[in-house]
Amino acid sequence: MRRRILVAYDGSLLSRNAIQEAKWQAREKTNSEVHLISVMKATGPKTNAQISRNISNDLVEKFRPQMEMIKEEFERENIPIIVDILVEEDNVNPGVKICKYAENNQIDLIILGSRGLGNIKRIFLGSVSNNVVQNARCPVLVIK
């Protein structure tokens, strides 16, 4: 049976460390598959959906090269990886989207950084990692 590991990546140092942990985990247990996702919040004027969608698509395309570089790292080490950038349009915590992705893809372990690039810092965990820890239906490894 294939072990599926989900890594939530936002470009921060801690999420980069989460990627390294996922590599280690995948090498330790053969037959692992890594899912690398990034959740971007939709931006732009809420009054004009088309403009908002265009701005969000531009952000995704600017972030995509980072994701492709990470994918190439995994492929060089022969670690199966699936890469996806998700856009959250409902203005909810990205942790909700991460948990939903984990459920839909039968993820066995979620790895993410304790705090990302958000402006608001929590005392112990960032709002996204806290949301995932509280709502995920599989084990969660938080990198500090």
> pTM above the 0.95 mark?
no
Residues in CB range of 96: below 8 A, 6 or more apart: 88, 131, 135
CB 37 within 8 A of CB 9: yes
Task: Report how far residue 79's alpha carbon sits from residue 100's, in angstroms, rounded to the nearest whole number.
Answer: 24
Tokens of 10: 């936002």
Residues in CB range of 121: below 8 A, 6 or more apart: 115
From first to last of its 144 residues, the chain has per-residue pLDDT tens of 899 999 999 999 999 999 999 999 999 988 999 999 999 876 655 556 666 666 667 778 888 999 999 999 999 999 999 999 998 877 788 999 999 999 999 999 999 998 755 544 444 456 899 999 999 999 999 998
